[in-house]
Each structure stands twice: as C-alpha cells, then as structure tokens.
Structure 1
Amino acid sequence: MFEGPEPIYLQIAEQLRRQVLDGTLAPGDQVMSTTQYATTYRINPATAAKAFALLVDEGVLYKQRGLGMYVSEGAREQLRERRRADFFTERIDTALAEARALGITEDDVVRYITKGARR
C-alpha cells in the first residue's frame, strides 16, 4: 500500500487529497479514525494522526471533538486551485524552460498543445 521514499504520513495525506479531488470523499463525509486507519493499514496510529493533522492545517479536514474527522466544505475546490497553480509552476514552467534550452519555439509549443488537445 505505502511505497516509495516519501514518508507514510505524506502518502496517507495524498491518498485522502486524491479521494477528495475525485469525489470519493465529499464535504461532510467522515474519514476513518486514526485507530481505524492504523489497524486497517497496519501502521502506527501516530503516523495516521500526523497525516490528519496536516490535512486539518490545510483546511481539507476538520475535527469534531468526540466524533471524528470530516471533509471540509470547499475542500475539493481548494485542492483543485492549489493543484492548478502547482501544475503551471512545477510542470509547465519546467517544460517551457526545457523547450527554450532545446530551441523549441513558442509557436511549436502552442501547435503541439493545440494538436494534443484535439485528440
């Protein structure tokens, strides 16, 4: 389930973000408790708690004392907006810098993107 060099708590947080983004988890939906998460995935409860705390800090989840963690209203839109910004800065800006280094013109890039969008 959890693989790669990234810490498990970050993998858990990303998994939950993806579930919010794809609609598997909707605003107001309760997420598993840290104990349930730890038992299900055989991890330390503190690891799950760290992931949930991160998502609370980001505003993706909120805690109802004594009841559990829930998906925040507007979480999907917030995540989409953040991902869109990251998409441009991390992927497009990098691709454009590489294109310039390879001598690919702006017109070539626009043509390629336009052609790809039609597929």
Structure 2
Amino acid sequence: MAVTDDGRPLFLQIAEQVESSVIDGSLPEESRAPSTNELATFHRINPATAANGINKLVTDGVLYKRRGIGMFVASGAREQLLERRRQTFGEKFIAPLLDEAHKLGMNAEDLKKMIDAWSDET
C-alpha cells in the first residue's frame, strides 16, 4: 500500500500502513519493523515524516524500540489494533446504519435479513 495524496497527513498514512501489516500478519509480533529510513526511501518522503508515523505507533504501544537494533512489533499489538479498528468500524459504519434503519422502521432482524441477502449476492 503506497502513501497517497488523499488529504490525510503522510505520517498517519505511514502509521496505518504499518498497522495494516501487523493486522494482516505480514509484520508479526516481536518482528523487526521497517526503519524510518527504509520507509522514507520506499515512499520517497522525508525521513522526519516517516519518523512521525513510527513515533505515533510507539506512543500507541504498537511498536517498541530495542536500543541499537531498531523498532519491533509489541506483543499483543495485533489484537489491540483489531479491537481499535472494530470500534472505529462500529462508529463509522454500524452506528449510521442503525440510525438510518431506525428512521426506515427497520429492526435488527430486518437488518440481518438484508445483510444476509446482500451477502448471498456477492
């Protein structure tokens, strides 16, 4: 996944890219994370921008530093990220869905049936 000019700060895109690698397992817990220089070179961005993304992940407890060796994925990082993304998913998609369903007079069972019907089509 490349960083793009989607209006979000590049350092957040870098952090999300690393997070996605942790979630999908391509960057397992306790493995070495890409360095700021590696990220900067790969994405052709300023190393300070890449460092900001990495530092955000350190602050969030996703990465930790081994002095003289580099950054590593923390134990429990994957589950932490999954839980945070589930929460965000609920806030961004489920809450508005429930609000709209309520306006349409639909209940949870109606929604389940609709989701099942749409799932069968894909």
2:114 alignment partner in structure 1: 112
Unaligned runs of 5+ in 1: none
Cα RMSD (Å): 1.6
- The 5 A counterparts of 1:1-119 are 1-3=2-4, 4-101=6-103, 103-106=104-107, 107-116=109-118
- After the TM superposition, which segments of 4 or more aligned residues of structure 1 sit over 3 Å from their partners? 114-119
SS at 2:114's partner residue?
A: helix
Q: In structure 2, give the amino acid aligned to 1:39.
A: T
Q: In structure 2, give the amino acid aligned to 1:108.
A: D
State the 1:82 CA deviation: 1.2
State the 1:83 CA deviation: 1.3
CA distance in 1, matches of 2:58, 2:105: 43
| 92-101 vs 109-118, greater mean Cα deviation | 109-118
Q: In structure 2, give the amino acid aligned to 1:105.
A: M
CA distance in 1, matches of 2:47, 2:24: 26
CA distance in 2, matches of 1:7, 1:73: 27
Using the size of structure 1 for normalisation, the TM-score is: 0.89
Structure 1 residues 30-87: Cα deviation after superposition (integer angstroms, max 9, x where no partner): 1121122212221111101100010011111111111110111111011111111222
The count of aligned residue pairs is: 118
Unaligned runs of 5+ in 2: none
Give aligned-pair identity as a percent: 44
| 17-26 vs 106-115, greater mean Cα deviation | 106-115
| 33-42 vs 12-21, greater mean Cα deviation | 33-42
SS at 2:96's partner residue?
A: helix
Using the size of structure 2 for normalisation, the TM-score is: 0.87
